[in-house]
């Protein structure tokens, strides 16, 4: 790939790869760091891209591999626990105990329901909710159509809504 094509690739696909990694990591800084690493690896291996898959699929596969390598390395070489660092929260940001408990229970129930979905449905729901990706982007990442992503998300959402208790 020529330098101008590499720059175009980075500019065009950075946001999609970043949001995909944000979905996996749920950590803005880590997603940003892994996105940069993904594009570094993609540039190093640009000559291996044959065009059999879409560029977004290829990049997201590199991103996923990079993410899993990072997780594996973190488990082999643990660092200081986050609990050891004090966090200061202003009183105005502090939720009321009852409300925080209910929100926490609802969040746990929601994620349990999402995790109980089949693999492709779970992936679509997580990419849409936490990654805030469009159905077109989700379809590209998973190698499916935009309509498939839309229908799969709708069906997954219906299944989750049956599992999660609604508070009135």
- The CATH number given to 97-168 is 1.10.10.10
- Does 50 score more than 60 pLDDT? yes
Query: Which of 1.10.1740.10, 1.10.10.10, 1.25.40.10, 2.40.50.140 is the CATH number of 1-77?
Result: 1.10.1740.10
Distance CA 5, CA 3 (A): 5
pLDDT tens-digit readout, 113-166: 888 888 888 888 888 877 778 888 888 888 889 899 999 999 988 888 888 766
Rounded to 10 degrees, the C-alpha dihedral 129/131/132/134 comes to -110
Tell me if 43 sits within 8 A of 85, measured CB to CB.
no
Across 62-82, average pLDDT: 72
Q: Which residue has the tokens 């200081």?
A: 80
Q: What predicted TM-score, i.e. pTM, was given to this entire model? A: 0.51
* DSSP category for residue 152: H
Check for a shared fold between 1-77 and 97-168.
no
Cα(first)–Cα(last) distance of the chain, in Å?
56
Radius of gyration of the chain (CA): 19
- Does 85 score more than 50 pLDDT? no
- Does 37 score more than 80 pLDDT? yes
Q: Is 50 helix (H, G, I), strand (E, B) or coil?
A: coil
Residue 112 confidence (pLDDT) = 81
For residue 33, name the pLDDT band (cuts at 50, 70, 90). Answer: very high
Residue 92 confidence (pLDDT) = 47
């Amino acid at each position: 790939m020529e330098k101008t094509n590499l720059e175009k690739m980075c500019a065009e696909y950075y946001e999609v790869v970043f949001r995909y990694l944000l979905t996996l990591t749920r950590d803005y800084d880590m997603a940003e760091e892994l996105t940069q690493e993904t594009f570094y690896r993609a540039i190093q291996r640009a000559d291996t891209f044959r065009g059999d898959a879409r560029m977004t699929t290829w990049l997201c596969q590199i991103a996923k591999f990079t993410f899993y390598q990072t997780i594996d390395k973190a488990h082999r070489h643990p660092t200081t626990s986050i609990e050891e660092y004090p966090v200061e929260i202003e009183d105005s940001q502090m939720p009321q105990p009852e409300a925080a408990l209910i929100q926490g229970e609802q969040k746990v129930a929601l994620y349990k329901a999402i995790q109980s979905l089949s693999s492709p449905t779970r992936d679509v729901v997580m990419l849409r909710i936490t990654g805030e990706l469009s159905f077109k982007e989700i379809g590209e990442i998973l190698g499916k159509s935009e309509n498939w992503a839309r229908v799969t998300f709708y069906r997954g959402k219906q299944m989750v809504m049956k599992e999660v208790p609604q508070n009135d």
